[in-house]
Amino acid sequence: MGKHFSDEQIEEFLKAYLARFPDAVERMECVMLNPFEDNDGLMSRNFREIYQVAQSMEFFTAYAKNEPSAIHHLVRDVARRVSAGLGPIESRKIKY
C-alpha cells in the first residue's frame, strides 16, 4: 500500500504510534473528513507526533540516512493507510 514503505513497516509504525498516542488515527480521520475546517493545529500535532515516533523506528532511521524527505514519505504513506480505512472516497461523508 505504501509508496515508500512496506505494509509491514507501516503497520509496525502505526502500532507504535497508537501505543504512544491512542487518539492519533481519530485525529487524522477528522482532518480527512473535515478538509475545509481550520485543521492546521491538528495537522502540525500529527506531523510532530509521527516524527517523534519515527525516530525510534529502526526501518525509518535506516531510510532517513539516505533520504532527506524521509519524514514526508512516512507521513504520506501513513495518511494513505488511514485514508484507506475510511473506505472509497465517494462513500465518505466529507463536511463542507
pLDDT at 13: 95
How do the residues of the chain divide into helix, strand and coil, expressed in percent and rounded to 5? 70, 0, 30
pLDDT at 60: 97
pLDDT at 59: 97
pLDDT at 6: 94
Low-confidence ranges of the chain (pLDDT < 50): 92, 94, 96
Give me 59's grid cell: 526501518
CA gap 23, 67 in Å, rounded: 29
CB 73 within 8 A of CB 55: no
